[in-house]
Structure 1
Amino acid sequence: MRILLVLSIVLAVILGCHAYSATWGRRNSNDYLLSRTTEARNPVKNNYWNLNVNYPNGFYNISAVVVYDNFKNNSGASPSLYSGGPGYRYATVNLRSAVNKGLNSTVEIWGR
């Protein structure tokens, strides 16, 4: 029984690493949508997309950065928060696709 528990935990960790939607921070009911950007690129043969999505210095503090993978089979871009984000007034999110794959992601910036 213990082996089954360990295997299920390992499987959950592996599947969690392959999820391409990400959230940094926490969105509250009194937050405003500051920015929504959808980036879509076609696949490039034997190459990948590496794209930065910038939210410049604004007037509001960012409370959450949410990246949605619009591909239904989790073959989209892998998001990374490069700079800024929750607690700051700016953010830079990097989207990197897999080799021979396109990307279709939506980046939302929430704040108050």
Structure 2
Amino acid sequence: MRILLVLSIVLAVILGCHAYSATWGRRNSTDYLLSRTTEARKPVKNNYWNINVNYPTGKYNISAVIVYDNFKNNSGASPSLYSGGPGYRFATVNLRGLVSQGIDSTVEIWGR
């Protein structure tokens, strides 16, 4: 019985790593939407998309960076926060797609 529990936890962790929506920071009710960018690209055969989404230096501090995968089957881009983000005034998010798959992601920057 213990082996079944350990295997189910390992499976949950592995499947959780393949979720392509991500959040950095925490959004409050007093935050404003500073930027919303939707990146959509068609699939390229035997190649992948690698896109940087930049939020340039602004006058507000960023409190949350949220990336939504608009594909329903989690085959979209894998997001990474390259620089900046919560606590800074700028952010760079990298979206890397799978080989022979397209990208359809929305990047939201919240701040106050």
* Matching of residue 51 in structure 1 with residue 14 in structure 2: no
- What is the aligned partner in structure 1 of residue 71 from structure 2? 71
Gaps of 5+ in 1: none
Alignment match, 1:90: 90
- 3-state DSSP class of the match of 1:39? strand
The one-letter amino acid of 1:85's match is G
Does residue 4 (structure 1) correspond to residue 8 (structure 2)? The answer is no
Deviations 1:76-102 (A, max 9, x none): 000000000000000000000000000
Consecutive aligned runs of 4 or more in structure 1 exceeding 6 Å deviation: none
| Letter matched to residue 30 of structure 2 | N
Deviation at 1:60, TM superposition (A): 0.3
Give aligned-pair identity as a percent: 88
Report the Cα distance in structure 1 between the residues aligned to 2:58 and 2:12, rounded to whole angstroms: 38
What's the TM-score once normalised by structure 1's chain length?
A: 0.99
1:51-94 deviations in Å (ceiling 9; x for gaps): 00000000000000000000000000000000000000000000
RMSD: 0.4
Aligned to 2:111: 111
Whole-angstrom distance in 2 between the partners of 1:73 and 1:52:
23
| 2-structure distance, mates of 1:60, 1:16 | 32
Aligned partners of 1:4 and 1:49: how far apart in 2? 38
- What displacement does 1:4 show? 1.3
Secondary structure of 2:20's match? coil
2: CA distance, partners of 1:94 / 1:79 = 6
TM-score (normalizing by structure 2): 0.99
In the TM superposition, residue 21 of structure 1 has moved relative to its aligned partner by 0.1
* CA distance in 2 between partners of 1:100 and 1:18 (Å): 17
Partner of 1:30: 30
SS in 2 for 1:74: coil
Deviations 1:18-77 (A, max 9, x none): 000000000011110000000000000110000000000000000000000000000000
